[in-house]
């Protein structure tokens, strides 16, 4: 059965394009990958031609999530499966596919109204990618570009959607209380990365809570943390280690208000031996809200 194999790209609608450009290039070490005639800007974090796509707009939230499948036949199989389940599926136009630097894609909405795209054959950049601010580079390749945490009004419904229709596999659950509020989340994986998507139940200010980028050296976590503070990027959670995926990371705010996570050392999943677990702590240590100044 065809399934998604990783997070391929993310599209954001943002009101502060220049602030985003500075964050991605100066703080996170992405490379600008061109501006389209409509003003859309694209950025690289590895050999793929486009990983983050920014378009001007007022929502300041995720505009679309792109997930990769193995081939055009797999894409057609997924489209048929979604259609059979009563999901309205649209085919991306040639110009839309070019804006995402993929051969082809389909688009539909998840149970919470987030636009999901499945793509085949992402294109590589014309030049080799040379990391700037992140000296070690990002962990991507067969693990995709990272992970996302999104809000889910009905967590079990969203879990069925992503597992049954898109083929993601259950990693584990976290059910705890953080800052006096319940935190109940489902973690799903598409490849050996501990999770490619997490579904958090309850009201959130944005559709997207955060997106995560994993680096290859722990020093790059600390140096990115310093650069955020030097550049005035608000810290959301200090450096800490998560209990379930063992990632050492921190969280900071994007110019759109949702967060990003920079981490190192995430757990890898072997489906032959992995057993899903219910965790009752989000972090072993750290990940504290910064002290008020």
Mean pLDDT per block of 10 residues along the chain (293 residues) reads: 97 98 98 96 98 98 98 98 98 96 98 98 95 93 98 97 98 91 95 98 91 98 98 98 98 98 98 97 96 73
Q: For residue 11, what pLDDT is reported?
A: 98
Q: What is the pTM of this model?
A: 0.97
Q: For residue 293, what pLDDT is reported?
A: 62
Write the DSSP string, 225-284: HHHHHHTTPPEEEEEEEETTT--EEEEEE-TTSSEEEEEE---B--TTT---EEES-SEE
Q: For residue 152, what pLDDT is reported?
A: 97
Rounded Cα distance, 120 and 103, in Å: 6
Q: For residue 85, what pLDDT is reported?
A: 98
pLDDT above 90 covers a percentage of the chain that reads 94
Q: For residue 64, what pLDDT is reported?
A: 98
Rounded Cα distance, 201 and 155, in Å: 6
């Amino acid at each position: 059965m065809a399934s998604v194999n990783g997070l391929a790209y993310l599209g954001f609608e943002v009101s502060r394009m220049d602030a985003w450009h500075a964050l991605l290039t100066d703080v996170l070490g992405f490379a600008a990958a061109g501006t389209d005639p409509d003003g859309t800007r694209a950025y690289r974090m590895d050999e793929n031609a486009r990983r983050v796509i920014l378009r001007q707009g007022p929502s300041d939230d995720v505009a679309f999530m792109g997930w990769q499948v193995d081939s055009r036949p797999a894409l057609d199989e997924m489209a048929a499966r979604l259609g059979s389940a009563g999901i309205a599926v649209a085919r991306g136009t040639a110009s839309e596919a070019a804006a995402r630097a993929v051969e082809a894609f389909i688009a539909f909405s998840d149970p919470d109204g987030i636009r999901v795209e499945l793509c085949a054959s992402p294109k590589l950049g014309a030049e080799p990618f040379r990391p700037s601010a992140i000296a070690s580079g990002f962990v991507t390749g067969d693990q995709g570009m990272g992970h996302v945490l999104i809000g889910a009004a009905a967590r079990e419904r969203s879990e069925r959607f992503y597992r049954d229709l898109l083929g993601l596999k259950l990693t584990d659950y976290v059910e705890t209380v953080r800052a006096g509020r319940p935190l109940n989340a489902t973690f799903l994986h598409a490849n050996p990365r501990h999770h490619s998507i997490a579904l958090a139940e309850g009201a959130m200010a944005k559709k997207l809570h955060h997106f995560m980028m994993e680096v290859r050296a722990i020093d790059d976590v600390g140096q990115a943390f310093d650069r955020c503070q030097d550049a005035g990027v608000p810290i959301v959670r200090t450096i800490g280690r998560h209990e379930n995926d063992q990632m050492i990371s921190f969280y900071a705010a994007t110019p759109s208000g949702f967060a990003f996570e920079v981490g190192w050392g995430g757990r890898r999943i072997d489906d032959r031996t992995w057993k899903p677990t219910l965790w009752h702590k989000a972090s072993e240590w750290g990940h504290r809200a910064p002290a008020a100044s």
